Amino acid sequence: MSQTDPAPNPTGDPAVPPALQDDKTMPLVVYVLYLVGLFNGLTAVVGVILAYASKAAAPEWIQSHYIFQIRTFWLSLLFAVIGCVLLPIGIGFVILPAVGIWMAVRCILGLSWLLKGQAYPTPRNWMI
């Protein structure tokens, strides 16, 4: 009689920690860094670096959050630069707060999807 390894437990063993690649911690940290970056600007740069560094090793559903976060950073930077250029004619005073609100809404929506354990449905969208 030959011995075979028992079949893996499909429900998972609670004593074994979850796979690191399924960990939601890093995308959560990036969203928080972006929200803090609305006040200081620098933590958003750290957040986008972490998103780029973590994207390749992540499962597909978490990759959607990283794609969303990277696009959020670059689009907000683009719109903020446009707002700064338009400050002398007064339109920038409207654009810059709108960019902050837009970024905050995107981060909150992304956090909502992440905490539900779901991929962001439209990570390449420009709006929400």
The tens digit of pLDDT for each residue in 5-48 reads 444 444 444 543 455 446 899 999 999 999 999 999 899 999 99
pLDDT for residue 14: 53
Lowest-confidence segment of 14-18, 52-56, 58-62, 92-96 by average pLDDT = 14-18
How far apart, in whole angstroms, are the C-alpha atoms of residue 101 and residue 98?
5
Is residue 108 within 8 A of residue 101, CB to CB? The reply is no
pLDDT for residue 108: 97
The CA-based angle 40-46-51, given to 5 degrees, is: 130
Helices 25-40 and 92-115, packing angle to 10 deg: 160
* Residue that the structure tokens 């990759």 belong to: 63
